[in-house]
A and B are shown apart, each in its own frame.
Chain A
Amino acid sequence: MKIKLSNRIGLLSGSFLIVAGVAVGLVASFSDTAQAHKVKHSPATLNAFDQVFMEQVRLGDLLFHGDPATQKKMGVTLSKTGMACAMCHPRAADTHPYEYPKFQEQINKFSTLRDITNWCIEKPNQGEKISVDSDAMKALEAYMYWSTRGSKLDPGRH
């Protein structure tokens, strides 16, 4: 846990570095083991969790909008057509992450949000498919969920 969070630091910049640094310190202070909830959550603790999450949203936002520097840092090529995810999905509209998992017509199988994200990268964007559990995929997922927060959860809907 501690190592993974530290890796995120490499992707941070400016004021986020300071805030997220505090966040990492707080989160890491609990334990390196899988234990949790041994100490009551304080507002500072919750804020630390939020900072970790929002940093992933920020990275996902940049990837989703085709930012070349973020793609390079994360070692991904999400498009070779010049198009970015956000060009068909402004504010992540019509990604409807709240409908997954479901049968996905294009893939012709029961699919997750990550499956269709990779389909979009490969087909319309003609980019390079990414690992379904990669940091870039998690960041994209964080951005899509965060952007559509408040939507009605409706798995399976087409």
Chain B
Amino acid sequence: MPNEIDKGRRDLDKVLRNPVKRPDSSVSLTRRTFLQRSLVTGTALGAGAASLGLLPLVNTIDVAQAAGESFRFAWVSDTHLYGPGVNERFVDKTVKAFKEIQGMSPSADFMIFGGDLAQKGRQDELQLGSDLLKEVKIKKLFIPGEHDWYLDMGAEWEKRFGGSPWSMDHKGVRIIGLNTIGHAPDYWTAKKMSPEERMGHMEALDGTVAGAWAGLGRPQLKWLSDNLAGWPKDKPIIVFSHNPLYNYYAPWNFWVRDWQEVQEILGPYSNVTNVHGHTHQVLYNEIGTMRSIGMLATSWPWPYAPGVPNLTTPMVRVDPGDHFDGVGWGSLTGGDRVENEYMMWRKDIFATAQADSGAGDEGNQVLNERIADKQWPY
């Protein structure tokens, strides 16, 4: 596996070293304070947050682009809900995010849910998620995560939230929702796995049995290519995906295995923004002409994997004793500017020194593949 990781890094390096292929606009990182309507009007939630100094500081990625009408939307993903009564903390954080999104002023045009609503893909988990989603009255869009899918191969998810990929045009922007999770190589049939066993292997991020499950697959790559065929090369595109559309860390599927084909399709377009979940951390990268923004989970933060992109300003160390720390949602604008605001429920989001960084220990850390899940069955 280390050789495969090294090869992946070399492949990515070739793309990154191409001096011609970059997003066509300058990117500047700034900060400003974003006030929720609930804070301004002094509701109990707002007053409490303000008194604790928890006004969320935000990361703004300002991108100058062709003129167009800007709009705001919200991203939530990776709620990882268990069935009722198992983990109330995850429920509390999901509710908090949904209430804040509904309280945005001015209202967001839509909310995108970026996958992993459920933890084990069970009906009671998806039902709980559906119930909590009723808090959000604005338009809702959905793409699935692997935790939503591998118990029944997406049947319940698609019944509730519709299929993917999909696309829509919104205020001059082509918006695309991909399914990067539903095209895993079949690791279950030959081993005669039950649906629960299949899901169990998918449930562990560091599992070795499900392998390189993240990808678009040939039919979806063709769909993407066909979808963009008539779209002007200089007009903005926003692509939602559960997994990042580049190679960050394959062993945790912090990638899609066919990212090079994706880049071939998106490469001719000069203004592409990929917004993704799955990584549960502050993350930013530019690959060719595509900028990529990793969003927070509401459930828990993943540690940084080996090979954090150089363009990422890592998030601070968070407090594992505070289940509201290191998590949150995202508020974004699209149109003539693409902005992302990390709505993390803490004062300081970004590390200013290595000692404050969640990635700060990486220099000393070597990680190795687990062994126990290779022996079938447990």
Segment with Cβ contacts to B, from A41-49, A80-88, A130-138: A80-88
Complex Cα distance A149/B370, Å?
12
Residues of B within 8 A of A106 (CB): 319-321
Residues of A within 8 Å of B305, CB to CB, are 93
Chain A residues with CB under 8 A of B302: 88, 90
Say if the beta carbon of A69 comes within 8 Å of chain B.
yes
The interface stretch among A3-11, A23-31, A60-68 is A60-68
Complex alpha-carbon distance, A83 and B302, angstroms: 13
Which one of A16, A61, A86 lies within 8 Å of B205 (CB-CB)? A86
Inter-subunit contact A82/B205 (CB<8 Å): no
Report A107-137 CB contacts with B as 1/0, cut-off 8 Å: 0000000000000100110000000000000
Chain B residues 233 to 280 lying within 8 A of chain A, measured CB to CB, are 251-252
A120 CA / B205 CA spacing, docked (Å): 19
A82, A93, A123: which contacts B86 (Cβ < 8 A)?
A82
Contact A67 B320 (CB under 8 A): no
User: Known contacts A86-B206, A123-B320; is A150 also within 8 Å of B368 by CB?
Assistant: yes
Given contacts A82-B87, A86-B206, contact A124 B369 (CB under 8 A): no
* Chain B interface extent, by class: 35 or more
Q: Does B361 contact A (CB under 8 A)?
A: yes
A81, A150, A157 — most chain B CB neighbours (10 Å): A81
**Using Cβ atoms and an 8 Å threshold, which residues of chain B touch A152?**
363-364
* B371-A58 in contact (CB<8A): yes
Residue of A nearest to B378 (CB): A67
Compute how far the CA of A137 lies from the CA of B7 in the bound complex, rounded to whole angstroms: 37
Partner among B119, B205, B321, B365 whose Cβ is within 8 Å of the Cβ of A124: B321
With contact pairs A89-B303, A106-B321 given, residues A147 and B87 touching in the complex (Cβ less than 8 Å): no
The 8 A CB mask of B9-21 against A (1 = contact, 0 = none) is: 0000000000000
Known pairs A96-B365, A106-B321; A91 contacts B87 (CB<8 A): no
Query: Nearest chain-A residue to B300 (Cβ)?
Result: A88
B320 touching A120 by the CB < 8 A rule? yes
Q: How far is the CA of A94 from the CA of B205 in the complex (A)?
A: 15
Contacts A82-B82, A88-B303, A106-B321 given: A65-B372 contact, CB under 8 Å?
yes
Q: Considering the chains assembled together, what is the distance between the CA atoms of A70 and B369 in angstroms?
A: 20
Q: Does B67 contact A (CB under 8 A)?
A: no
Nearest CB in chain B: distance from A31 CB, A: 31
Chain B residues near A70 (CB-CB < 8 A): 378
* B368 and A148 contacting across the interface, CB-CB below 8 Å: yes
Give Cα A78 to B260, complex, Å. Answer: 41
Q: Which of A58, A83, A90, A150 contacts B206 (CB 8 A)?
A: A90
Is A93 a contact partner of B367 (Cβ separation < 8 A)? Answer: yes
- Chain B contacts for A99, CB-based, 8 A: 361, 364
Tell me whether A124 and B361 are in contact (CB under 8 A): no
The chain A residue with its CB closest to the CB of B251 is: A91
User: B residues within 8 A CB of A151?
Assistant: 364-366
B138 at the interface (CB under 8 A from A): no
Q: Are B303 and A93 touching (Cβ within 8 A)?
A: yes
A57 beta carbon closer than 8 Å to chain B: yes
Of the candidates A124, A148, A154, the one whose C-beta lies within 8 Å of that of B367 is A148
Residues in A with CB closer than 8 Å to B89 are: 81
A102 CB, nearest partner CB in chain B, Å: 12
Residues of A within 8 A of B361 (CB): 94, 96, 99, 157
A140 on the B face (CB < 8 A): no
Residue B204, interface by CB 8 Å? yes
Least CB separation from B320: chain A residue: A124
Return the chain A residue nearest B319 by Cβ. A106
Give every chain A residue within 8 A of B366 (Cβ-Cβ).
148-151
Interface 1/0s, chain B 185-215, versus A by CB < 8 A?
0000000000000000000111000000000
Q: Nearest Cβ distance between residue A21 and chain B, in whole angstroms?
A: 16
Checking B205, B323, B364, B370 against A157 with a beta-carbon cut-off of 8 angstroms, the contacting residue is B364
CB distance from B172 to the nearest CB of A (A): 40
Report if A83-B204 is in contact (Cβ < 8 Å); known contacts: A67-B378, A91-B369.
no
Known: A69-B378, A82-B82. A57 touches B371 (CB 8 A): yes
Q: A65-B370, A96-B365 are in contact. List 12 more A-B contacts (CB 8 A).
A: A61-B372, A67-B372, A86-B204, A88-B320, A91-B368, A92-B367, A96-B361, A120-B320, A123-B321, A148-B366, A154-B364, A158-B355
Query: Please, could you name 15 A-B residue pairs with CB atoms under 8 Å apart, sorted by A?
Result: A16-B375, A57-B371, A58-B371, A58-B372, A86-B205, A91-B251, A91-B367, A91-B370, A94-B365, A96-B364, A106-B321, A146-B368, A151-B366, A152-B363, A154-B364
